[in-house]
Amino acid sequence: MYNNNAYNTYSQNNVSVESPQKLIQMLFEGVLRFNTLAKSAINKGDIEKRTYWVNRSNAIFSELISTLDYDQGDISHYLNGLYAYQMQELSLANINNDPKKLDDVNHVVKGLLDAWRDVNEVAQ
């Protein structure tokens, strides 16, 4: 479901990452953090910061899509569609100044993060 591109990107930026599995967790956590900051910017009427944080979340989804391993079967295709849909929702949140869309994306990402943590606990 991932390759070394994301891991290498973080390594080049001097961020210590224990493993590619940890990196995926960090990416999901980043979306949650960036969306919270975007929602705060919406509440403050700060268009520039709203756009900045939404774009950061979109960049994470773009990276997640680019690192999918389609040799792993249907799950990769499902995640591609799910991530693309989340990007669409983020764009609508940005265009329409809609914090509810950010909440919807966060709900999905929290589910993905919980599932990711569960899978990696079982694997260890």
CATH code where residue 28 lies: 1.20.120.340
Angle at 115 between CA 112 and CA 121, to 5 degrees: 140
Phi-psi region of 79 (alpha: psi -120 to 50; beta: other; left: phi over 0): alpha
Return the closest-CA partner of residue 66 out of 91, 54, 85, 83.
83
Q: Which domain holds residue 77?
A: 4-8+20-123
Written as one letter, the residue type at 14 is N
pLDDT digits 0-9 by tens, 2-58: 455 555 554 555 456 678 889 999 999 999 999 999 999 999 999 999 999 999 999
14 in any annotated domain: no
13 in any annotated domain: no
15 in any annotated domain: no
pLDDT digits 0-9 by tens, 79-108: 999 999 999 999 999 999 999 999 999 999
Stated pTM of the model: 0.84
Domain count, the chain: 1
